Amino acid sequence: MLEIYLPIVQVNVDIFLLLFLSLLVGVLSGLFGVGGGFLMTPFLIFMGIPPVYAVPNEVNNILATSVSGSLTHWFKNTLDYKMGMMIVSGGVIGTIIGITTFNYFSEIGKISTIISLLYMYLLAIVGTLMLIEGIREKANKSKNKLIKKKIHEHNWFQGLPLRMRFQKSRLYESALTPIMLGLVVGFVASMMGIGGAFLMVPAMIYIVGMPVNLIPGTSLFVTIFISALVTILHAFNYSSIDLYLVFPLIVGSIMGVQSGQKLGQFLDSTELKSLFALLLLSVAIAIGYDSFFRESKEIESKQILNDNLSTFAEFTVNFSNENPFLFGAFAILLAISLGAMTAVIRKILSPIARKFISDLKQKSSKKKEEIKFPEK
């Protein structure tokens, strides 16, 4: 156990636990293709970090992983920029509304309760739906049954005005549809510290009707802008970005996402989906118990004022308090840089790794042939 002091949050945390949780959530995100914010933010709150700090620091972490993933899709040309910018335009409005709502509940001292309730209901709903889907997939798989789904059903969204053509997605529909989607995603992201992919991906499939191969990259592209805006607004309003918290979150998450994506190539996600759903439901129950049955206690009581700060820690505190906007911009730049660096390294190393694995397989097959047909 090695505790570090977060100078801006003013809380002591176990650095190994923080790295482990961010790594675990990253692995789950990479394995199931979902954002990790709806798990990591509650974990941070359980560790004693007040919601006003947990939300923006996790959003800053999501920014880094989104940049990494988005660049990967950019290299593959699987992004619809026009659709993405439409969603972002709505996301800006939703984020501003969300921040205003966050400020209101924070001023009346109810933000912890509101965030806890939102997470309890969110995790309960997502966990239940995922559990049902996992059980259904397992049952269909055991019967060797293939179910065809109607991807783009006609509904009232198709009747909205301001129709425009999205050439990349080969769609012709109202611009209001992605704008309204962005409005919801921006509000949720600013209130709860999540990327919003769990909302965007189903909506892009069943409401917008985008091609499946363009959805992951476009959703990550949108998340970059919304996460950056949420980070800068929270930093400006609360001076709440703590680099001592952000950096281990980013490192653990990026490593976890890469590992999870690799594991997903070898593991059967159908079997694991039900377990993941049970984890979500367990966290929802824990949040519910903490909110309704545990004796109420002020989160601020866990905050400790430490006067013996290192030079860098003191610099970050002063920088954050005196120039919150610039400090938020610096945190965004740090997240983007780490995410971009990861994407570039992965692009360089992926062909080398594939060649290495291919050579190993060839050598292994040659050895098997030599054993099977030895030279006389």
Mean pLDDT, rounded, for 88-93: 93
In the predicted model, is pLDDT for residue 181 greater than 60? yes
Residue 64 lies in a domain: yes
- pLDDT computed for residue 90 by the predictor: 93
- pLDDT computed for residue 301 by the predictor: 45
- pLDDT computed for residue 81 by the predictor: 86
- pLDDT computed for residue 158 by the predictor: 61
Summarised one tens digit per residue, pLDDT across range 204-223 is 877 787 888 888 888 888 88
- pLDDT computed for residue 376 by the predictor: 52
Quickly tell me which residue has 């594991």 as its tokens: 263
In the predicted model, is pLDDT for residue 361 greater than 80? no
Contact 235, 2 (CB under 8 A): no
- pLDDT computed for residue 147 by the predictor: 47
Residue 376 lies in a domain: no
Residue 12's DSSP bridge partners are 5
- pLDDT computed for residue 373 by the predictor: 57
- pLDDT computed for residue 34 by the predictor: 65
Summarised one tens digit per residue, pLDDT across range 123-174 is 888 788 778 877 777 777 666 654 454 444 555 566 667 788 888 888 888 8
Using CA atoms, how far apart are residues 232 and 237, in angstroms rounded to an integer? 9
- Residue 305 — pLDDT band, cuts 50, 70, 90? low
Residue 157 lies in a domain: yes
Q: Which two tokens stand for residue 86?
A: 């439409």
- Residue 323 — pLDDT band, cuts 50, 70, 90? very high
- pLDDT computed for residue 149 by the predictor: 47
Residue type, 180: M
Residue 243 lies in a domain: yes
Residue 375 lies in a domain: no
From residue 330, alpha-carbon distances to 66, 241, 246 in Å are 17, 10, 12
Summarised one tens digit per residue, pLDDT across range 234-275 is 888 888 899 999 999 998 888 888 777 777 666 665 666 777
- pLDDT computed for residue 141 by the predictor: 66
- pLDDT computed for residue 304 by the predictor: 65
Residue 83 lies in a domain: yes
Reduce the DSSP state of residue 150 to 3 states and report it. Answer: coil
- pLDDT computed for residue 96 by the predictor: 93
Using CA atoms, how far apart are residues 151 and 160, in angstroms rounded to an integer? 19
pTM to 2 decimal places = 0.80
Using CA atoms, how far apart are residues 97 and 183, in angstroms rounded to an integer? 9
- pLDDT computed for residue 183 by the predictor: 92
Q: How many domains does the structure of the chain reveal?
A: 1
In the predicted model, is pLDDT for residue 298 greater than 60? no
Average pLDDT along the chain: 80
Residue 372 lies in a domain: no
- pLDDT computed for residue 307 by the predictor: 65
Mean pLDDT, rounded, for 95-102: 92
Percent of the chain with pLDDT over 90: 15
Residue 367 lies in a domain: no
Using CA atoms, how far apart are residues 115 and 94, in angstroms rounded to an integer? 17
HSE, CB side, 13 Å, CA atoms: give it for residue 97: 12
Host domain of residue 356: 3-362
In the predicted model, is pLDDT for residue 295 greater than 60? no
- Residue 302 — pLDDT band, cuts 50, 70, 90? low
Mean pLDDT, rounded, for 19-36: 79
